[in-house]
Amino acid sequence: MPKQIVEIVMPQLAESLVNATIDRWLKEPGDPVDMYEPICELITDKVNAELPSTVRGKLVKILAGAGEVVNVGSPIALVETEAEASSAAAKPQAPAAVADLPAQTASRPAVTAPVAAFDPDAPMRARFSPAVQKLAAENGVDLSRVAGSGLGGRITRKDVLDAVNAGNRGHDAPVFPTAAVAAAPALVTEPARLPVVEVDEGQAAATGREYAIDVTPIRNTIAKNMRQSVNEIPHAWTMVEVDLTHLVGLRSKLKDDFKKQEGINLTFMPFLLKAIVGAIKEYPLMNSVWAVDKIIVKRDINLSLAVGTEDSVLTPVIRNADQKTITGLAHEISQLANKTREGKLKLSDMQGGTFTVNNTGTFGSVLSYPIINYPQAAILTFEAIVKRPVVIGDMIGIRSMVNLCLSFDHRILDGIICGRFHQKVKEILEGFNQDTKLY
């Protein structure tokens, strides 16, 4: 049966996405690939996702390494497949031999069956990915003097790093002699690690010790989104304190039975979300986005819930939160938190949020200034519940108090509406008592 090479291209993961970052490859050149089997993990500004193969065959070559940003529609891998079984969406090219492709790893045997390959004269060398351009700029590397080992002579991150290690700053000949290009590895399969500068004991006292930590693709995405939020949105901030003494008593009374009946813990978060939903209903402008010449108010109340992992913070969405009971919200919170920490979130879990809530009190924080989850209009943090003396009338009592911190987009919202919204959330939270229904 004749063989051919087909491209796996970066798909349109969501309507608003124009590119994605390769996080890591799940397959290596030479590995068999089944239809719909995940071959790599992607990171977008929304969520992590696995990319399934569109064909069945054998992975021949990886075209985009870990950490590289790839535009929608651009090829990321080549798969050898039966000519009759190729995907209709794949793009077979002119016949050639796999041996003509640059070697991926020395440990993989050469494939000699006739397959399709790219036109070797294709103008790939001048196409630099954003990751390559950034790395070259940071290290002062002249890309015109770097010989690319990628497809069609395309320059990869490894080529730039090899240029840095070789001392190439644009004044010497290309790092790779022409004869060596075909044998050069075409891909860095792990994020590039910067060299760690060590100092001796005599220098340590004066300069201190330091080490470098790689900026992961998801951390880079978080940095980009936070920078965009701060640069574009004029943040304003306010805080109120809330007496949760009655709610603390209610939770203590119900939590054991709730655990037995529902199989999950009863936390304070579903009560907070219920209060936020009630306040948004009275002040719907809190549930909006800025659109330059108009303000778009969202009818659906979809609450983004900030969930931290070891290396990132993601914001899965509880859709139509206003239609859920306290118990329903508790289950949504538990499910989304578990999916986030297990890395099982889908793009659909992250889309459509209209207002963000963050439980910073988990870490003992009593006051914070949150950054708005762009392009939403506001974000609220729930701080630690602390017992402290409070003046009640002319008496002093020990109460369970919490601070609610609100950052808002001052283009959309002003102090008066945010103050009223804040007071409404406070009123609802302080109104929970032994008669509150969870269902």
> How far is residue 405's CA from residue 368's CA, in Å, rounded to a whole number?
7
Evaluate whether 96 touches 152 at the Cβ level (below 8 Å). no
Return the amino acid letter for 167: G
Among residues 34, 142, 256, 414, the one annotated as catalytic is: 414
- For residue 410, indicate whether it is catalytic: yes
What is the DSSP code (8-state) at residue 371? P
Q: Could you tell me the two tokens for 109?
A: 């045997």
**3-state DSSP call for residue 286?**
helix
The DSSP output letter for 167 is T
The span from the CA of 266 to the CA of 255, in Å, is: 5
Take residue 220 and report the two structure tokens written for it: 């880079």
Peptide bond between residue 109 and the one before it cis (omega within 30 degrees of 0): no
> CA-CA-CA-CA torsion for 330, 238, 218, 15, nearest 10 degrees?
80
What burial letters (b/e) apply to 258-293, b meaning 16+ CB within 10 Å? beeeeebebbbbbbbbbbbbbbbeebebbbbbbeee
3-class state of residue 332 by DSSP: helix
- Residue identified by tokens 């509150």 is 436
CA distance 45 to 126: 27
On whether the CB atoms of residues 61 and 186 are closer than 8 A, the answer is yes
- The catalytically annotated residue of 121, 256, 410, 435 is 410
Q: Name the H helices within 166-268.
A: 201-207, 217-232, 245-262
Residue type, 139: N
Range list of H helices, 67-156: 130-139
Q: What does the alpha-carbon distance between residue 220 and residue 230 come to, in Å, rounded to a whole number?
A: 15
Give catalytic status of residue 257 as yes or no: no
| Residues annotated as catalytic (active site), given as ranges | 410, 414
